[in-house]
Amino acid sequence: MNQKTWKMTTAGMLCALAYLAVFIVRIPLILFLEYEPKDVIIVLGGFLFGPLTSFLVSLSVSFVEMFTISEDGVLGLLMNVISSCSFACTAAFIYRRKRTLSGAVCGLVLGCLLMAAAMLLWNYLITPIYMGYPREAVAELLLPAFLPFNLIKGSINAVITILLYKPVSNALRRFQSRLRL
């Protein structure tokens, strides 16, 4: 199997796994906000193949999610893509530059912080539109609800990613080498 086919097949598998993760695992954390682990899989794709893969997996999964399990339509798609990409693409970009444990940790920490900051802005702008809350009510929730939620979500995803990356990448390498035989 050539490298391009391997990447496309693996990215497709990551899309399916990320969708399955959001479909099966939804844990309420703060108010109406739920944790789902799809970003772990999106980051793993970025660590394996680069930030573009993180973006494409995020977009694909969010698109399918919009038509199947999400009730938030296009605005939910937008929020999902912004959240996942700010976390996963940042982590993958930094890890691509420094392929070490410290590079992965640095990328994940920065991705978590960027996601939290980006989601403060986008929740302020978009949440009143699709949730029907007055902007003032959303502004009052930014620091006590949205910020801790995104920091907790990003931290959980970062820890799980660190724990899974080496075993997953080693298993994929072994599998890929067997395919070449």
pLDDT of 19 over the 80 cut: yes
pLDDT of 32 over the 90 cut: no
Domains located in the chain, CATH noted: 13-23+37-163 (1.10.1760.20)
Band (pLDDT 50/70/90 cuts) for residue 92 is very high
The pLDDT assigned to 1 comes to: 63
Mean pLDDT of the chain: 92
DSSP assignments along 97-166, one per residue: H--SHHHHHHHHHHHHHHHHHHHHHHHHHHHHHHH---HHHHHHHIIIIIHHHHHHHHHHHHHHHHHHHH
pLDDT of 181 over the 70 cut: no
As a whole-number percent, the residues of the chain with pLDDT over 90 amount to 78
Band (pLDDT 50/70/90 cuts) for residue 2 is confident
The residue-averaged pLDDT of 25-48 equals 92
pLDDT digits (tens, 9 = 90+) for 107-145: 999 999 999 999 999 999 998 988 888 999 999 999 999
The residue-averaged pLDDT of 139-162 equals 96
